[in-house]
Structure 1
């Protein structure tokens, strides 16, 4: 029974000794910092004091010279009145011209004969005049001394500032050089950003070049497909491109394609992504299920003719709150959802079925970190769900590779103050669950349909808009829900408990909702698809 007590006592003594050592080190550090600060301030004060004493002695000597000059003039005037001849001592004149002029003028009385000193004048009147002039000289001397004191104070302040500046400059030379170098780099970058954009025709000629792909033939097995309607409408002429690639496959990853797409940013290209990362990720997605959206309809890896597909695209707009459209949404063959797709507790309004979940890595990471309090902590899951990735950078490719090879999930690139944290899917991913949108398809949506004049440099289509166009280019009938809600009547999201007003472009500056709403109205008018408007 004594051993545990001895062990506890020994451990306590060890901790006490450690605390004593830590306190000693802390005290030594504080004393060292204090001594360093003291010597630094002493060095600064010595430099300032030496310079200020020199200036003070100079100013006081000048004041004394002013007073000595005035006293000499007084003695000369008194000697001239009495009749004595006084030799004027050698005095260094003040550098102030006004005092010299007054002193020189005061040596001669008005109406005085230059040959005689006091002939024919009364002694009392002469002494009175002398006293008046002496009083004037004393007043001038007082004003000069006051001016000299003021100048001395100002000089002392400037001297302290200059001395401190000398010390600061001596200690911060390297810091100032680093700041100057950084400023030069910043100016160069800002100048590069301010360079004029290329001509509109040249820019569009490079951006409107897409890879010709035969994927569209797989989605034209239905006689009433939407592709026929979009190609025949005069209002949509020049917008619809039938052979643009939709899903990214292994055959698309080549050196020539990488060189073509590496100049486009975000999800519209491969700028900032490494070719090796994309290649090794797409090597894991070689199956026929990764090359066709509705892979559960394949028969012997082939698409069957005559199958017409009916799809529902569900947004997160507040227009669905209280709509009671859940049963109608679930009646479709496939249901597309995006971002914060909360269905639990809202089944009557938005349904419960999810076939395709579309997302960008950055958006989903931010949504999960900010919406956990509302019950959204992971992407939705069911046995038949497919995940549609919108790669904004190489984070999506690195994440897919790590998830399929059971490696460590990587973080996103550093943005603002921290890196994006990786999220975890409810079930382990397999290659058949993953679809990746081709960059040409995203750029085609932006160039042909949703090019914003307001947000030309930074804007892009919303994830919901990309999801609608994905359905329009793959499905044969499309119905959209949760879009075009009146901001004065409905909340921003259908799961918002409090009223949150949706105010278009001021909500998120990189999306042009006005442009998208105008396009939806045009497509509805042309009979391309239907949208729930709650009228």
Structure 2
């Protein structure tokens, strides 16, 4: 209710979140509505595409397909695509551009230099390693796209925010949370969007536990665990588990939802 939202909004971590510098990655101070679309497997159960595409700006992550059968699930519109270190290499570095290793960006047609037409795709790189060189490679490989990198000083501010929000959650009795080394691409995207979106709708993130199936629905495909991504990946790689605290971040997204800072639209 309103009282719970006001209480969540007043937490110390939320104050730090509001103090994050406003982002100007889109060339404008803010968008009225933004959809932030993760890659969670539960998106395969729904038809969120039309709702996602109605937002003023849509942010996606890494290189998972949005075409074909996926369009009904996740839509087609993309304004921003946040790339982690590996996907930055795949999408930008010519040394990896061979048939076995190259992974083309889903919006490849919008990364070629053209006059007129749609707004250029905007790529956001967050990994600090060789960031200047990576930006140069991305611009050479994708001359029609606009390429941005999150400055280390800005990333450090984002880290302070999530540490404070985790502390707020533990004060409220949640946790304990596991150790972590880096924010996920999703966390970087959400915190960046907070500074450029009046309202945020979150799709395809692990946040609230999924609803339990009804007895009549059975247990799905021969007892298989649900996919980790809507593209069919069954589980996260070891590196992803070691470097990130997915469960801890999911509680942070619940807190932002409770504070009315953003709305979780899929589970």
Q: 1:524 to 1:373 in 2, by over 3 A?
A: farther
Decide whether the 8 Å contact of 1:450 with 1:516 is kept in 2: no
Report the Cα offset of residue 366 of structure 1.
5.5
* Aligned residues: CA RMSD: 3.6
Which residue pairs with 2:229 in the alignment?
A: 493
1:17-416 pair list within 5 angstroms: 233-236=9-12, 239-240=15-16, 242-245=18-21, 292-295=24-27, 309-345=32-68, 346-365=70-89, 376-378=103-105, 380-381=107-108, 382=110, 383-384=118-119, 385-394=121-130, 396-401=131-136
CA distance in 2, matches of 1:434, 1:347: 25
The structure richer in strand per residue is 2
Tell me the residue number matched to 1:444: 157
Partner deviation per Cα, 1:52-105 (whole Å, 9 max, x = no partner) = xxxxxxxxxxxxxxxxxxxxxxxxxxxxxxxxxxxxxxxxxxxxxxxxxxxxxx
| CA distance in structure 1 between the aligned counterparts of 2:6 and 2:63, rounded to whole angstroms | 30
How far apart are the structure 1 equivalents of 2:128 and 2:159?
14
CA shift at 1:518, angstroms? 0.9
Higher helix proportion (structure 1 or 2)? 1
Specify every segment of 5 or more residues in structure 2 that has no aligned partner in the other structure, as ranges: 111-117, 167-176, 211-223
Are residues 1:524 and 2:249 paired? Answer: no
Distance 1:232 1:337 in 2: 27
| Partner in structure 2 of residue 480 of structure 1 | 202
Q: Give how far 1:294 is off.
A: 2.6
Following superposition, the deviation at residue 246 of structure 1 comes to 5.6
User: 1:246, 1:438 within 8 Å by CA — same for their partners in 2?
Assistant: no
CA distance in 2 between counterparts of 1:529 and 1:312 reads 10
1:502 Cα deviation after fit: 5.7
The CA deviation string for residues 333-357 of structure 1, in whole angstroms up to 9 with x for no partner, is 0000111231112100010000011
Structure with greater contact order relative to length (CA < 8 Å, sep ≥ 6)? 2
Query: Counterpart of 1:309 in 2: which secondary structure?
Result: strand
Q: In structure 1, what is the equivalent of residue 217 of structure 2? A: none
**Any unmatched runs of 5+ in structure 1?**
1-228, 248-291, 298-302, 407-423
1:513 correspondence with 2:246: yes
Q: Is the 8 A contact 1:317 1:493 kept in 2?
A: yes
Change (3 A) 1:343 1:349: same
C-alpha offsets along residues 6-37 of structure 1, whole Å, 9 cap, x if unaligned?
xxxxxxxxxxxxxxxxxxxxxxxxxxxxxxxx
Q: Calculate the TM-score normalised by the size of structure 1.
A: 0.37
**Would the aligned equivalents of 2:203 and 2:265 in 1 still touch at CA under 8 Å?**
yes
Change (3 A) 1:514 1:392: same
How far did 1:465 drift?
1.2
Pairwise CA distance, 1:392: 1.8
Does the CA-based 8 Å contact 2:206-2:250 persist in structure 1?
Answer: yes
TM-score (norm 2): 0.69
Separation in structure 2 between the aligned mates of residue 356 and residue 386 of structure 1, nearest angstrom: 5
The verdict on how the C-alpha distance between 1:403 and 1:358 changes in structure 2, with shifts beyond 3 A counting, is closer
1:491 deviation in Å?
0.6
Question: d(CA) in 1 for partners of 2:101 and 2:50?
Answer: 23
> Higher Cα Rg: structure 1 or 2?
1
Matched with 1:464 is 186
Aligned to 2:114: none
